[in-house]
Amino acid sequence: MNRRVVITGLGVCSPNGVGINEFWKNTLQGISGIRFIPQLEELKFSCQIAGEPQVTQDHINHRFTTLEQRGLNASGIVYGVLAGMEAWEEAGLPVNETPDYDTGIIFGTGILGVDKFREAIHKIDDGNTRRLGSTSVLQTMASGISTYLNSKLGCGNQVTTNSSACSTGTEAVLMAYERILHGRAKRMLVGSCSDSGPYVWGGFDAMRILPTHYNDNPTEASRPMSATANGFVPSSGAGALVIESLESAFERGATIHAEISGGFMNSGGQRADGSMTAPNSQAVRRCISQALKTSKVHPDEISAINGHLTATKKDPDEIYNWSRALHRKGNEFPAINSLKSMIGHGLAASGSLECVATVLQLKHQQVFGNINCEDIHPDILEHISAEKIVQQSTAIELNHIAKASFGFGDVNAVVIFSKFSG
Amino acid sequence: MIYDKLKDIIKVYLPEDVNVDSINKDSHLMNELNINSAHLVDIVLDIEDAFDIEIANEDIERMQTVEDALDVIEGKLEA
């Protein structure tokens, strides 16, 4: 298989920036998108902070017609459409008048249109099903986001929504990569989204895995790799990428941001040390190794890692697994960061948000700094030296970056992104 | 005026290529004004809210043209 696969478009709707320019600028500056959410306090949540993209009415008017805005009550769709349309336009692709059978969409989510569904539930329970309106189904079916995007774009290849918890966005990238590699599509709009709000985050609050002592200082709450990490901060948003065959990108003179060299997905079967909420370490290491093998990138060639690193007790385990899988430790370990320190855990959106950030790093040859980990966890320092955990955004020669997402249910996805050198 | 209120409701659902001036009493909602059939239920909800009436399923089936919608509305208001 000699086909090469590249990235030709990027879009983002993040708690610390709506749109690629604002997002990248803020991320480089270590600006957090975590805020105190009054509604969570009213509803007696223990964790009353979260990440929510600051979407304005102007943003919405830009992408949604007046008609589309009627009864629109699905924040995941708003975020996904904003990110997806930005990526599409940035890739220089047209809105299709007739179906483009060469282009598809894989846009994932974990749960969609939660607020709209709540609206529907109340109406149905009150005996008022007849008042649901015609878009209730569209806004709440999981594939609503890929369908909604396609109503605007006219793609005629596979159009679907994948779902694998926190690995959803990264998995979507790999599914598109494989489809294009096998010649079944020329390009795919890829990404994932996650609604914001108490109904999405409540279940996590109930599991008591979120930070509860940072309601007064939200920006310091998300602390991946820190000795004082105390749970992930719930978040939301969407990331989007246009993934394309190199041949097609050249043919239409598209700007190429980076290349996908390879990747892998697997599961730890929730066996050994794996469970619903914790990964099987051996499976994680296998996933990293397989990703490297398929990409033909040697472990020593990895310039940086963008980790899953959620700020739970599992962070040191993840670092250990990276170290073992790459056979690199101490000072030899690559630079590593986690976007979650600034935007929290976007759940199903996390993989795509973080893949976008990873590609931006390659494009700009800069690694963004981590915040909230001046106090690195001692278990981590047993395996890698402190300087590897980048504290300030730095220019580094970046050739290959390994990006991983590990999801609830012991599911793993690792992508090897590479600088495009022609 | 009922007709004006109804036109205001319908115009939101017109596709981009249909002008609000195209609406007249015998306009067929789907065939001439090209309104997506899925939106009929939304138009009915907007009518119910604007005129404070309730429209039954059998009435919705009768509403093919603007005139039909006016008849249904006037019928409910007189009741």
Instruction: Give residue A288's Cα distance to chain centre.
Output: 18
Q: Which residues 32-51 of B are in CB contact (within 8 Å) with A?
A: 38-42, 45
A127 touches chain B (CB under 8 A): no
Contacting residues of B for A131, CB less than 8 Å apart: 45
A23 with A87: CB under 8 angstroms? no
User: What residues have CB less than 8 Å from A260, skipping those under 6 apart?
Assistant: A5, A6, A7, A173, A177, A243, A415, A416, A417, A418
C-alpha distances in Å from residue B51, one per residue of A133, B46, B74: 17, 9, 10
**Inter-chain contact B45–A133, Cβ cutoff 8 Å?**
yes
How close is the nearest chain A Cα to the Cα of B64, in Å?
18
Distance CA A198, CA A202 (A): 5
DSSP structure string for B35-75: --GGGHHHHHHHHHHHHT----HHHHHH--BHHHHHHHHHH
C-alpha distances in Å from residue B49, one per residue of A127, A374, B42: 17, 57, 11
B79 touches chain A (CB under 8 A): no
How would you classify the pairing of strands A304-306 and A400-407? parallel
Distance CA A143, CA A145 (A): 5
pTM: 0.96
Q: For B5-63, write each residue's pLDDT tens digit.
A: 999 999 999 988 888 898 999 999 999 999 998 999 999 999 999 999 999 999 998 89
Burial class (CB in 10 A: 0-12, 13-18, 19+), A209: middle
A98 touches chain B (CB under 8 A): no
How close is the nearest chain A Cα to the Cα of B48, in Å?
10
Distance CA B20, CA B23 (A): 6
Contacts across the A-B interface (CB distance below 8 Å)? 16
**Inter-chain contact A71–B42, Cβ cutoff 8 Å?**
yes
Contacting residues of A for B45, CB less than 8 Å apart: 131, 133
Q: Which of B75, B12, B71 is nearest to B39 (CA)?
A: B12
Question: In 10 A of CB A68, how many CB atoms?
Answer: 16
Low-confidence ranges of chain A (pLDDT < 70): 1
How close is the nearest chain B Cα to the Cα of A114, in Å?
21
> Which residue type occupies A141?
M
Nearest Cβ partner of A133 from B12, B13, B41?
A: B41
Q: What is the pLDDT of residue A1?
A: 57
Nearest Cβ partner of B39 from A66, A131, A134?
A: A134
A103 with A21: CB under 8 angstroms? no
C-alpha distances in Å from residue A85, one per residue of A155, A221, A242: 13, 31, 10
Nearest Cβ partner of B41 from A66, A70, A134?
A: A134
Helix (H, G, I), strand (E, B) or coil at A275: coil
A261 with A414: CB under 8 angstroms? no
Q: For A77-134, write each residue's pLDDT tens digit.
A: 999 999 999 999 999 999 999 999 999 999 999 999 999 999 999 999 999 999 999 9
Q: Which of A103, A12, A7 is nearest to A343 (CA)?
A: A12
Strand (E) or helix (H) holding A351: helix A350-364
Contacting residues of B for A67, CB less than 8 Å apart: 12-13
How close is the nearest chain B Cα to the Cα of A63, in Å?
15
Helix (H, G, I), strand (E, B) or coil at A35: strand
